[in-house]
Amino acid sequence: MKAVVLGTGGWGTALALVLADNGHDVTLWSRTPAKAEEMARTRENPLLKGVPLPESLAVTGDLDCLEGADLVVSAPPSFAVRETGKKSAPYLRPETILVTVSKGIERDTNLRMSQVLQEATGNVCRGIVALSGPSHAEEVGLRLPTGCVAACLDRSAARFVQSAFMNDRFRVYTSVDIIGVELAAALKNVIALCCGICAGMGFQDNTKALLMTRAMAEITRLGEYLGGQRRTFGGLAGMGDLIVTCTSMHSRNNRAGILIGQGKTVREAMEEVGAVVEGYYAAESVHQLAGREGVEMPICRCAYEVLYQGKRAQDVVPELMGRAGKDELLGTAWL
């Protein structure tokens, strides 16, 4: 099978390695030709140091590589998905399966990444599948056991992606709940920032467990309201991804949050991390979505106020802890 991965970030590169390991004809595309040339020469991505690129994996900056592709993986940062989709559209075929692995919500439109790709490509492809789960690129690159979920309303498209990626180190489940999978992927980045802030302020395990559990209640509440299935948020794309992103220094969101909790400004924190912090952008989209739909999300609201309105993180803790008492399971679960 001919496969193309659009985006030479750590995650796109790691997925290209999975496909190459499975014997597919794989090309990794970079929007920067000079970066593609350097990676092709050194056979390494600086974002995955120590992980060699096999000779069978082609690296290029030319979109002609999309000609005749059976599988195309869209892996740029969320803010670049629309632009990359538009550029790739002329090369896509109706039978091509398009996979989105970017975790975010588009600013202002509040569209999920599959919806952005549908608009950008003119919905030309047979199906768009979201691939997500607890999956640090660094660990996938090292071939450590990892599990993800491939979601699409078209079950055959999800199974196609499952078959393409699955091996004895990369396990893939299927789902028809693409709404829930994409929302869980984007929203957990906000919570990872919050967990990092807690750690930076000196809070420990009790606080993190409280934050993660109650934040999952918020994420589930909004996800269900927007059409996602509750079970998805307790699975790999939901709780699984939340755990790994909130507890690991591999997570850029977690690292940025720690710096903010230690007293750095939001801009200083993101500059020090030195890569895209998706949770920062998602926090604004979540705030817009929750306000538009009338869904109560106090943790995400406080995150927005800290990240965008200059509120001190120290001031939101007593605000959250001082909210009126509730029954945890009254009515529907995880109120």
Cβ contact 299:257 at 8 Å? no
Cα(301)–Cα(294) distance, rounded to whole angstroms?
12
Half-sphere exposure (Cβ direction) of 56: Cα atoms closer than 13 Å: 13
Distance CA 320, CA 313 (A): 11
Q: What tokens does 168 get?
A: 């004895």
Scanning 64-174, the segments in alpha helix (DSSP H) are: 81-88, 113-121, 137-141, 155-165
Q: Which amino acid is at 283?
A: A
* Strand order, beta sheet including 58-60: 58-60, 25-29, 2-6, 71-74, 97-100, 127-132, 146-151, 170-175
Instruction: Report residue 29: phi and psi, to 5°.
Output: -105, 135
Which residue type, as a one-letter code, is found at position 315?
D
Please confirm, yes or no, whether 103 is among the known catalytic residues: no
Kindly list the distances between the CA atom of residue 276 and the CA atoms of 3, 42, 161, 176, 271, in Å, as whole numbers in the listed order: 25, 24, 26, 29, 9
Residue tagged active-site, from 188, 264, 311, 326: 188
| CB distance 248 to 136 below 8 Å | yes
Burial class (CB in 10 A: 0-12, 13-18, 19+), 324: exposed
**Which residues are designated catalytic?**
188
